[in-house]
Structure 1
Amino acid sequence: MPSEAVAQLSIDLDALAHNYRVLASEAAGAAVAPVVKADGYGLGAVAIGRRLWAEGARSFFVARLAEGEALREGLGPERPAAIHVFDGLTTGSGPRLVAAGLTPVLSSLPQVSAATAFARQLGRPLTAGLHVDTGMNRQGVTPDEARALAQSIDRLRGLDLGLVISHLGAGTDPADPHNGRQLERFAAVRALFPEARASLAASAGIFLGPDYRFDLVRPGVSLYGGGPQERPDPRLKAVARLTAPILDIRTVRPGERLGYGAKVVLERTTRVAMVGAGYADGMIRAAGGGGYAWFAGARRALLFVNMDLLAIDLGDAEAQAGEMVELLGDNVHLDDLAAAAGTVAHEVLVRLGRRGERTYVGEI
């Protein structure tokens, strides 16, 4: 038991390395560039980046400029990775991008114009990527705009365009025909920039087949244990394991209500364990009533989640205060918790709080 009643978050970098190898094998020759945005999906981008560098990763993706700077500093000069920034060249970011050796992924015509102007100021080529929107309607120039750029040397003058990317909107559903439409559009755009590497697939796209992998893949959530189809995948291991201690055990009679809002009404006499974790520790309130925890070798229904406490149905299990309950990990799958909360694995991970104690297994 910890010295005080706090949740324990163990981050298993050996499991992360296993998942990286699974994804690299599935990618079948394409370079694997891990996505470590949002501080490595909430698990620590620097520790994750160092371990994945040791596994062979030489390119990474982040969302924000500051994330790229922090990763560059954390990796250090002995790990000279290529770090791509999805936000691209935002206003005034050019000097910081260059100082940290970051590669902006340009996602609009104004960004392309700003990048060429900044390259003129530098007096040397600016390394950049180009994001093309093939149907997700979130980021990227349109295919027609990409074609116009490719046909006008002046509009890309001063840019060393080494990468062209897009992103699948329905990759988690292999049967969705939108995947094929996006693939067709991206293949046409890729042909416009034959000297650049091409990247379409994130975690889900890697598993759609070789046509989707191109030169480089960008796994995110599946590195951290999330299934590529938003359900548990036995090939992948849990990276985050959240446990918390039982604080109290009580027997509650039928008809009694539990927790805020008094929405949970017990239909039978129930032995309830109050556990020292809640949404301040990353557990999502909406998972109460549909999710589960793991204790004494079996699943235990998650009755409610409050800010600092949650309740589980102990059934007939023997238990005492101080024993630890698994809330996320090998036995409580990331995708199952997400489904119970009506969300996705990504959100579960980035919500994991820092109030408890964090430890890393297999840290480099």
Structure 2
Amino acid sequence: MPDKPSPTLRLAIDKDALAHNWRALDRMSGAANAGAAVKADCYGLGVDSCVPVLRDAGAKQFFVAHWSEVEAVARHVPAASISVLHGTVKPDDATFARATGVIPIINSLHQAQVWLEAGGGPCHLMVDTGINRLGLSMHEVGDPLIGHLEIDVLMSHLACADEDSAMNGEQLAAFRAIIPTVRHKSVSFANSAGIALGSDYHFDLTRPGLSLYGGIPRAELEGEIRQVAMPQAAIIQTRRLAAGDRVGYNATFTASSAMPVGVVSLGYADGFLRSWAGGHLLHGNAALPILGKVSMDMIVVDLSQAPDLREGDWVDVPYFLPDAAQQTSLGQYELLTILGSRLKAR
């Protein structure tokens, strides 16, 4: 087979920034150790690119959501360091966990029963303190099934850590009341934003995710967290518009005068959604405004500030997450996890 043509999309990962972010979050966790949430293919940035960096930076516990995510992570770290947030819903989940040494997070009495019937072993226990997603209800903590579990980490999850909400303190108080009633080895409560809430929320283990990959959910993290994801796209055609020419679907942009434009290999199939309309790409310090609507596979940009750009040249997508979130009205989590597979193709 001949060599594949060069891609017209690429995603640069700043591995030094990723390692820096873990170390910063570990330091901010005080006496607690920082783990690493690596679910959703490391929030869209790639397990093979990110997990070795996090491991080498010092992370020792890794969290995924689905059992299907285990295999990719286990290529880089011991299976016993991987925990699965969705727990033992089915008997084959428990069978897989026992065979591999991966740690299930038990979220309900049903999951506890499945795990114990499979033979049990080390597990974590999630207790719901108010977010009403996964987790054992607080009134179920005293059930005899829970007393039979071999719980390593007792955990809960904050609902409003990215806000100055009274609910943070309410959940903390509820969790503190539960801790003495459950036999366990260590305690975990804080995600990225929870780390920034302070030492009361840190306990023994923190579970940063978003901020590892450049997200800044609270002001206290500003200056601590560096940008990790840097998408780039190639110009695949240049042209010159005349006054009155229109651009894209529904002709939402009309040129008021002659102008150079570029067609860029990037669209909503790559996670660059139509909410970017009205924004810009970058070439060095030059802003390249987006003209008209975002299409599935391409956008058109104004090259007036960079008229020397040619077909095959690369332009940058401004992906500093707080700014991109403000521009698009998308969440920082969404901006990472929607990045399409073509950006990561090799």
SS at match of 2:341: coil
SS at match of 1:335: helix
Deviation at 1:162, TM superposition (A): 1.0
- Counterpart of 1:31, as a letter, is N
SS at match of 1:325: strand
| 1:297 maps onto 2:285 in alignment | yes
What does residue range 75-224 of structure 1 map to in structure 2 within 5 Å? 75=76, 79=78, 81-92=80-91, 93-119=93-119, 125-146=120-141, 148-149=142-143, 154-173=144-163, 175-193=164-182, 195-224=184-213
Mapped partners of 2:99, 2:167: distance in 1: 40
Preserved CA contact (<8 Å) 1:230 1:335: no
- Counterpart of 1:257, as a letter, is R
Deviation at 1:208, TM superposition (A): 0.8
Kindly provide the CA deviation profile for residues 283-329 of structure 1, in whole angstroms up to 9, marking residues without a partner as x.
Answer: 1222112x33211313333333211111223343333213211014x
Deviation at 1:354, TM superposition (A): 2.5
Mapped partners of 2:161, 2:62: distance in 1: 21
- Counterpart of 2:338, as a letter, is R
Counterpart among 37, 44, 47 of residue 45 in structure 1: 47
Mapped partners of 2:245, 2:130: distance in 1: 51
Structure 1's 58 and 320: CA in aligned 2 closer, same or farther, altered over 3 A? same
Kindly provide the CA deviation profile for residues 186-215 of structure 1, in whole angstroms up to 9, marking residues without a partner as x.
Answer: 111122226331111111111011111111
Mapped partners of 1:234, 1:136: distance in 2: 29
Kindly provide the CA deviation profile for residues 4-44 of structure 1, in whole angstroms up to 9, marking residues without a partner as x.
Answer: 46111112222110111111111112111100001111222
Pairs aligned (count): 340
Structure 1's 232 and 279: CA in aligned 2 closer, same or farther, altered over 3 A? farther
SS at match of 1:299: strand
- Counterpart of 1:132, as a letter, is V
Counterpart among 348, 353, 357 of residue 340 in structure 2: 353
Kindly provide the CA deviation profile for residues 206-257 of structure 1, in whole angstroms up to 9, marking residues without a partner as x.
Answer: 1011111111110101100011239993321221111112223334456543
Moved more, 348-357 or 216-225: 348-357
Counterpart among 271, 278, 283 of residue 272 in structure 2: 283
Preserved CA contact (<8 Å) 1:63 1:86: yes
Counterpart among 54, 57, 71 of residue 55 in structure 1: 57
Preserved CA contact (<8 Å) 2:230 2:316: yes
Q: Runs of 4+ in structure 1 displaced over 4 angstroms?
A: 2-5, 253-256, 265-270, 356-359
- Counterpart of 2:106, as a letter, is L
Identity across matched positions, percent: 35
Mapped partners of 2:294, 2:48: distance in 1: 31
SS at match of 1:305: coil
Which residue matches 2:239? 250
Which residue matches 1:306? 295
Structure 1's 241 and 110: CA in aligned 2 closer, same or farther, altered over 3 A? same
Counterpart among 331, 334, 338 of residue 344 in structure 1: 331
Moved more, 266-275 or 237-246: 266-275
Preserved CA contact (<8 Å) 1:287 1:341: yes
